[in-house]
Amino acid sequence: MELDELEKDLTEKVSAASDEAALEGLRVHALGKKGVISEKMKVLGKVSPEERKTLGPALNGLKTRIGDAIAARKIVLEDAALEARLATEKVDITLPVRPVQKGRIHPVTQVMEEIAAIFADMGFEIREGPDIEDDFHNFTALNFPPDHPAREMHDTFFFNEKEDNSRMVLRTHTSPVQIRTMMNEKPPLRVIIPGRTYRCDSDQTHTPMFHQVEGLVIDKTTHMGHLKGTLKEFVAAFFEVDSVETRFRPHFFPFTEPSAEMDVKYERMGNEIRIGQGDDWMEILGSGMVHPNVLRNCGLDPDEYQGFAFGMGVDRLAMLKYGIPDLRDFFAADARWLEHYGFDPLDQPNTATGLSR
């Protein structure tokens, strides 16, 4: 009779609990270490075995029923609290909202996409590689001799020496990806390689980190004429002019032979540079036929395969095309600069409707 009255009293209190805090207090009162039911459970050790057979199941049953009642009431209170909260958080969607602040595409990203769109139409694929390189991929495989100036600290960011005395570097060009591509893929190859590169240099037209795009074509029949035609078509498409007059001057790169720098005709109108007209020449990129030693280092037979490679600075191309005077502003994180020089993210570059609008 005492347990029945206790269960009735506790059940009524559970049903009357108005919030979760009150319900938690009731749970502690009934089922806590010093709760009324817990105290009665302690009596089991003092009664006779016969009484324990009756009293034990009764107390356990009471404990279970009260616990279930508390759990059920908790669900009801949680649902009620959620409904009350939702009722106070209504939004009047008829009210005007603030204008959406749309982001802008950085000129470097825009130019990367423009270059990719042009070369994709020519059948090139994109390859990428790590920014941190070893000596083999960054220098040795590209035919750099051991005493080449590019291996010096004043030109290259070196990491600390390893136990075997080797040193990793921040890649000085994206050419290591050419090596990885030739070693891992079978010709014919036609790829471009965009990415970040690093050199110890900083002024109006140089930054310690900058962007490059390199191209690589490897097959059995490619020659210098293909290189010149590809680059001439690229420059005309990139600067969005009908034609560009170009010239190729002999140069030296360890990884190409013969090597050439490509110039384009231009004229300056005030602060504006117009590519494809005028009488002045501007160097715009480096190129050449892949050196036989580079092919050998990648496991290719230079008597069977040949090809060409080229490289260009993305940041410099952006400056020329969009009239940006200082390279350092590219990395200044100035929202006003980006608002002025940035691009609409919905305008994706393509050669059919125009690269830039």
Give pLDDT tens digits for 29-73. Answer: 888 878 888 777 777 777 787 777 777 787 788 788 888 888 888
Q: Are 133 and 176 in contact (CB under 8 A)?
A: yes
- pLDDT for res 132: 95
Contacts of 36 (CB under 8 A, 6+ apart): 6, 10, 29, 30
Q: What is the mean pLDDT of residues 129-141?
A: 92
- pLDDT for res 9: 82
Strongest mean pLDDT among 17-31, 150-164, 330-344: 330-344
> Can you tell me whether residue 160 is helix, strand or coil?
coil
Alpha-carbon separation of residue 56 from 42, 50, 64 (angstroms): 10, 10, 12
Give pLDDT tens digits for 185-219. Answer: 999 999 999 999 998 876 666 778 889 999 999 99
Helical (H) or strand (E) element with 189 = strand 189-198
Helical (H) or strand (E) element with 286 = strand 280-290
Q: Is the pLDDT of residue 166 over 90?
A: no
Please state, in angstroms and rounded to a whole number, the distance separating the CA atoms of residues 319 and 315: 6
Query: 288: which strand partners?
Result: 259, 309
Q: Are 319 and 327 in contact (CB under 8 A)?
A: yes
Q: What is the mean pLDDT of the chain?
A: 87
Q: What is the mean pLDDT of residues 22-28?
A: 84
